[in-house]
Amino acid sequence: MFFTLKRGSSKWLLDTNRRSKRTAHNRGLRAKLRSALKSIRAAIDAGKTAEAKAALSQTFSIMDKMSAKGIIHDNAAGRYKSRLARKLK
């Protein structure tokens, strides 16, 4: 059962603290994903396909974990994967 917490109550403060920690953690994971995508795209543009293929499996793993935890949507993860695979061919 869900109910709204009164602003300033002890439970509200605990929930706010928990939410801010979770938001910071998720933000860090998204930044990690964005930097991994950027490095793969740069390697593909530079013509370093071997380097890009090596980084691709690690990035796919990151995307799968994030979509399983609900940090990014499942369709977004699939879209990133298909576009990277298509670019690599």
Among 5, 28, 29, smallest CA distance to 17 is for 5
Q: How far apart are CA 59 and CA 54, in angstroms?
A: 9
pLDDT for the residue numbered 71: 94
What's the pLDDT tens digit per position in 9-68?
888 888 888 999 999 999 999 999 999 999 999 999 999 999 999 999 999 999 999 999
What's the pLDDT tens digit per position in 62-76?
999 999 999 999 999
Are 5 and 47 a contacting pair, CB within 8 Å? no
Tell whether the model's pLDDT for residue 3 goes beyond 80: no
Which spans in 1-89 are helix H? Answer: 10-46, 49-69, 74-88
pTM of the shown model = 0.77
pLDDT for the residue numbered 31: 96
